[in-house]
Structure 1
Amino acid sequence: MIPGPKNLITDVPGLLVGNADDPVVKSGTTVLLSPEPLTASVHVMGGAPGSRETDLLAPDKSVAKIDALVLSGGSAYGLDACSGVVDGLRAAGRGFALGPAIIPLVPGAILFDLLNGGDKGWQDNPYRALGRAAFEAAATDFALGSHGAGMGALTAMVKGGLGSASFVLDNGVTVGALVAANPMGSVTTPGDRHFWAAPFEVGDEFGGLGPDSASGLGRRLDSRKMQAMHVLAATDSLPSERGNTTIAIVATDAALSKAQCQRMATAAHDGIGRATVPAHAPGDGDLIFAASTGGRVLDDIDTELGQIGHAASLCLSRAIARAVYCATPQENDLLPCWSASP
């Protein structure tokens, strides 16, 4: 396996990604779509998810294809970003046709970034407009770090962000990951220099420092994020353990069914566990969508599916580290960027 030419999820032929964000609100939205509808499913392992239209992605549900997937900041408010994407798709004549009616199908998931130093005193929910803007911005190139759904993301110790990575398998299949990393856990080992995902790094895509040489890691669960959120909320009783979540999309051009997409999403959760300590906590909403463009039909997909899921998990680990590595400083930040760590 080698990274695709962009090392982005858009190395999967046909996929486009758009970002929109507001640095004053310190939040944003990211959308993934394709010129043609996508086969997709989802798997949730966090204890506090926030999502829209995920039930229709179950393999036993009748909907065969969806039109776009959305990752957004904003907690429950951010779910309205899906409505903005629906508006854009409808204007483009995209969606499920039922007689004269056109119904764009846009599942989405959100992360909590309401206590991150941004101005959340809006009168009108901004996320519908952010969703429409992200839809209009969709392209094969897009920014990582403090952009889109990763604009206001935080990890336990340093800023989070938006990340992506890809692999091209030996059989020519392309697999990619897109993530907004805002976990309860840390993405870096104590000292904030080395990434938990370092064993899976390709080249120097997130600094090239290699794994931490220390042993006995993972027993301390320090969190600057929790401390900063308590101060910002001016209370000792804030249920801040729920102010988290890693949300992601893994995708491939291999032709997969909904059930096979769900298996790919399930396998990809290993990528969160390898890159974040701890992962899948009760207060995390860890959720992974999986999508297939169907562009490459394989002779024996049952045999190849395990390799595709493994590649998705590795891409996701790398994408999480790249999200933190690419984060940039902004006004009123609660946490430092990885680039500013000692």
Structure 2
Amino acid sequence: MENEVLTMFGNITDVPGVKVGHAENKEGITGCTAILVENGAVCGVDVRGSAPGTRETDALDPINEIERVHGICLSGGSAFGLDAATGVMHFLEDQGVGVDAGIVKIPIVPSAVLFDLFIGESRTRPTAEMGYEAAKNAVVGDFANGNTGAGYGATVGKLAGPQFCMKGGLGSTSMTGQDGLVVGAIVAVNAVGDIKDPDTREILVGARNAETAQWIDSCAYLEKHGQSQALAGTNTTIGVIAVNAKLTKAEAKKIAQLTQNALARTIYPVHTMLDGDTIFVLGTGDKTYPVDYIGHLATKVMEEAIVTGVKSADKLGNVESYVSIQST
């Protein structure tokens, strides 16, 4: 209808065709998030960190055959957590969604994982059953930021050693642009570095001495000591941009590259040898927009999602959060 007012939730599900669901194991302190595009979406990916854990990303190369994906799975559990994507695939198969291979439909569900094993029970990781649950929970609408889904066990500020970390989390935001464009972001923030306000450069969460309540400042620590005390493969920021635009795979990949600028504006240091920073981009629409315009908005909305994720996280165990230190 001409005068219809669309309900906006301020998250990635504001982009038409996108649903989101989560599942957590609160005893194990881990979780996963399913981003579903059951009608299919063109997808690109950009990996900047040097310790990624991913699945099906080669299929997204513009030279390869697969044009559309049916979901993205973000998960804790390190490489073990890649199992969650299998559950998302099974859910979509049960719905009759996937590439028609004649005798079966095969859902295409790329995935990226983060390491959350030291904050909870290290033998508890997201499983295929948890991925199925997250996909089954996927809806258009409100969901909590912070200790949610893939961000449930996320931590940040580990460069000086994991004992100085604070709580990371999952964040999602959206914004509208010109001519009906809608851009949404969802991200699980588990960086080795500190998270800073992109406007003021104030540290929001990061390496912090809980006894003295003093920031360590990860970049200053690296400059002074010449090396990190973080453990290899234990950090990453993983996220998805969705846009109601018509994209080619090459354009989606370029927008993913541009969106990595949001990480560079909020995470210090970023894209290190110890991070696996990975951004996916989904195009769900049939209208074209300039790639640089989409990339600019995608960067802006991803910045907001990163800040929202860490500002919304609650303290877990002995790991302080932005919320908990504001109240002291």
TM-score by length of 2: 0.85
Q: Residue by residue, what CA displacement relative to the aligned partner does 1:120-152 show, whole Å, maximum 9, x if unpaired?
A: 335xx6421110010000012222100100000
Between the aligned residues of both structures, percent identity stands at 37
Partner of 1:229: none
Partner of 1:297: 287
Partner of 1:8: 11
Q: Residue by residue, what CA displacement relative to the aligned partner does 1:190-238 show, whole Å, maximum 9, x if unpaired?
A: xxxxxx22469xxxxx9xxxxxxxxxx875248xxxxxxxxxxxxxx98
Alignment partners' CA distance in 1, 2:191 and 2:230: 15
Superposition map of 1:38-187 within 5 A:
38-116=41-119, 118-122=120-124, 126-140=126-140, 141-156=142-157, 157-187=165-195
Partner of 2:325: 341
Q: Residue by residue, what CA displacement relative to the aligned partner does 1:87-109 show, whole Å, maximum 9, x if unpaired?
A: 10111111111112211111000
Amino acid of the residue matched to residue 33 of structure 1?
L
Alignment partners' CA distance in 2, 1:121 and 1:60: 38
Partner of 1:232: none
Alignment partners' CA distance in 1, 2:121 and 2:266: 30
- Structure 1 ranges of 4+ moved more than 2 A: 196-200
Contact 1:47 1:281 in 2 (8 A): yes
Q: Residue by residue, what CA displacement relative to the aligned partner does 1:281-316 show, whole Å, maximum 9, x if unpaired?
A: 11100000010102x413xx3xx2101001111111
Partner of 1:27: 30
Q: Is structure 2 residue 252 aligned with structure 1 residue 261?
A: yes
Contact 1:269 1:313 in 2 (8 A): yes
Distance 1:139 1:162, change over 3 A: same
Q: CA RMSD in A?
A: 2.0
Partner of 2:208: none
Structure 1 unaligned spans of 5+: 189-195, 201-205, 207-216, 223-236
> Given the alignment, which residue of 9, 12, 18 partners 2:21?
18
> Given the alignment, which residue of 290, 297, 300 partners 1:311?
297
Contact 2:38 2:92 in 1 (8 A): no
Alignment partners' CA distance in 2, 1:293 and 1:91: 22
2:122 match: secondary structure: coil
Alignment partners' CA distance in 2, 1:138 and 1:197: 31
> Given the alignment, which residue of 281, 284, 291 partners 2:272?
281
Alignment partners' CA distance in 1, 2:248 and 2:150: 28
Amino acid of the residue matched to residue 298 of structure 2?
A
The structural deviation recorded for 1:16 is 0.5
Contact 2:37 2:69 in 1 (8 A): no
Alignment partners' CA distance in 1, 2:189 and 2:219: 21
TM-score by length of 1: 0.81
Q: Residue by residue, what CA displacement relative to the aligned partner does 1:58-114 show, whole Å, maximum 9, x if unpaired?
A: 001000111100100000110000000011011111111111221111100000111
Contact 2:38 2:71 in 1 (8 A): no
| Equivalenced residues, count | 293
The structural deviation recorded for 1:35 is 3.2
Alignment partners' CA distance in 2, 1:107 and 1:218: 31
Partner of 1:220: 220
Alignment partners' CA distance in 1, 2:257 and 2:61: 13
Alignment partners' CA distance in 2, 1:239 and 1:221: 12
Amino acid of the residue matched to residue 66 of structure 2?
V
Amino acid of the residue matched to residue 170 of structure 1?
Q
Amino acid of the residue matched to residue 309 of structure 1?
G
> Given the alignment, which residue of 243, 265, 277 partners 1:252?
243
